[in-house]
Amino acid sequence: MNLFDMAYEYRNLFFSGLKYTLLLALIGVLCGFVLGIIVSLLRMSKWSVLRFIATAWVEFLRGTPMLVQLFLIHYGLVELGLEFSAIQSGAITLTINSSAYLAEIFRAGIQGVDRGQMEAARSLGMKQGMTMRYIVLPQALKNVLPAIGNEFITIIKESSIVSMIGVADLLFQARNITAITYEGLTPLIIISIMYFILTFTLSKLLGILERRLNTDDRR
């Protein structure tokens, strides 16, 4: 069976896998976005205990393989009485892993904002929380938007590990089709093309958005 015939005949399986891949990647980035902001703020806290916790969080998640984190959540936490479905475990893993990298991205963005703006806001009577919310964070997020987009692309690719615990994503479906057809190469080529289309399209859209933001800044 050639590539096009297989892609058409098993299109329902491929699109089903694509749905789970996109769903998990979206959850991972959106939830990781919120958690990453919190962790980045904790890393810059004046309280040493909070800084230590946030630093330990980032260093552990960046210093261990995502597959190990996935197994810890899906299999290891069962021994502590915490049991999650495969999709829940995948979403949690992608979220916490993404949060560690996004936290560092946000921290760099926040520290890149001119300190003079914070001092000016405080001189106008704005409290630190209001200054961070209305002055610093909007500029920081705008500056690191391309890096956030790159993290989304990374999560789309790395989400394939959830197939190891039975989530029916693209890789899982490719292995199912291999079991049906006894063809190992063609299904992998098809999902490789699908991954490439996803990441390439997203990369181009991010490039367009970045150019528009730069144009608005010049105006």
DSSP label at residue 65:
-
* Confidence at residue 121, expressed as pLDDT on a 0 to 100 scale: 74
175-202 confidence digits (pLDDT tens): 999 999 999 899 999 999 999 999 999 8
What pLDDT does residue 165 have? Answer: 94
pLDDT digits (tens, 9 = 90+) for 110-135: 888 777 777 777 777 777 777 777 77
Identify whether the C-beta of residue 177 lies closer than 8 Å to the C-beta of residue 10.
yes
Q: What is the mean pLDDT of each run of 10 residues along the chain (219 residues)?
A: 90 95 92 93 91 96 95 94 94 96 90 77 76 79 83 90 93 94 93 94 85 68
What rounded mean pLDDT belongs to the chain? Answer: 89
What was the pLDDT predicted at 139?
A: 81
Long-range contacts of 140-146 (CB under 8 A, 24+ apart): 140/106, 140/109, 140/110, 140/112, 140/113, 141/106, 141/109, 142/213, 143/109, 143/112, 143/113, 144/105, 144/106, 144/108, 144/109, 145/206, 145/209, 145/210, 145/213, 146/206, 146/210
How far apart CA 80 and CA 117 sit, in angstroms, is 47
Model pLDDT, residue 109: 87
CA distance 192 to 161: 14
pLDDT of residue 129: 73
Eight-class DSSP state of 184: S
Is 116 exposed, middle or buried, given 0-12, 13-18 or 19+ CB atoms closer than 10 A? exposed
Decide if 188 contacts 45 (C-beta within 8 A): no
The residue among 109, 92, 120, 123 whose CA lies nearest residue 41 is: 109
Contact 180, 9 (CB under 8 A): no
What is the residue extent of each domain of the chain?
3-218
pLDDT at 115: 76
| Predicted local confidence at residue 134, as pLDDT | 75
> What's residue 219's pLDDT?
58
CATH class of the domain at 3-218: mainly alpha
CB 110, CB 135: distance < 8 Å: no
> DSSP string of 125-171?
T--HHHHIIIIIHHHHHHHHHHHHHHHHHHHHHHGGGGGGGT--SHH
